Amino acid sequence: MGIIVWARAFAQGIGERCFKVQTALRVGLIRATAVLKSLPETAREQIRHWRGKSVEFPVEEQRVLLAEYYDRFEQLAELICDAAFAGEGAPFQERYTALRRWLLRAYPQIKPYLTGHMNCDPSDSEFGMRVAGRPTDAMEALFAAETIEEILRYDQGNLIGRLERARSALYRYADYLREIL
């Protein structure tokens, strides 16, 4: 009888360990997938990501990024206005998701330079806390929400002002870059 009890306990221990190993492997796979998805797409972005903000960002590259960023910002502003006029965001969600993905990747590079030219308003931080769980500036608040429906739902009459503050910051930053060199 002692050997049978011992064998059952041994088999049960092996089963529990197998379950724990499977769970650990699943969690590890989910974490690895999340890390791979969050990695920047280009080598230059990766180097800046690893080294932090201390990597110098040449003025010419700032101008190129600002031009492309401004184009995408205008597309986003037009999309948000169209969704607001339509009263629903569902028809615009696919385009918003694509723009948001690009803006989320590009904004950290331009943010340290752009925030110096931005007018701050408490409503932008409050909107970010409501939608994303963290304070945002006027620019970031425009693409902090997962869906365009959230932007429309949680807006408390500050959307036009937010768009204008973000656009004004882009204009001032562009003027600053024109004065250099």
Q: What is the pLDDT of residues 18-48, one digit of tens each?
A: 777 788 788 777 777 766 666 555 555 665 5
On whether residue 48 sits in a domain, the answer given is: no
Residues 85 and 24 in one domain: no
- Domain span at 20: 2-38
- Are 32 and 106 in the same domain? no
Structure tokens, 151: 């932007």
φ and ψ of 148, to 5 deg: -70, -25
Name the residue type at position 114: L
> Tokens 């959230």 belong to which residue?
150
Residue 49 lies in a domain: no
Q: Is residue 87 part of a domain?
A: yes
Q: Nearest 5°: CA angle at 155, between 149 and 156? A: 150
Task: Tell if the pTM clears 0.75, that is, is over it.
Answer: no
pLDDT digit string, tens, across residues 49-71: 555 554 467 788 888 888 999 99
Domains contained in the chain, number? 2
Do 31 and 95 lie in one domain? The reply is no
CA 34/CA 36 separation, integer angstroms: 6
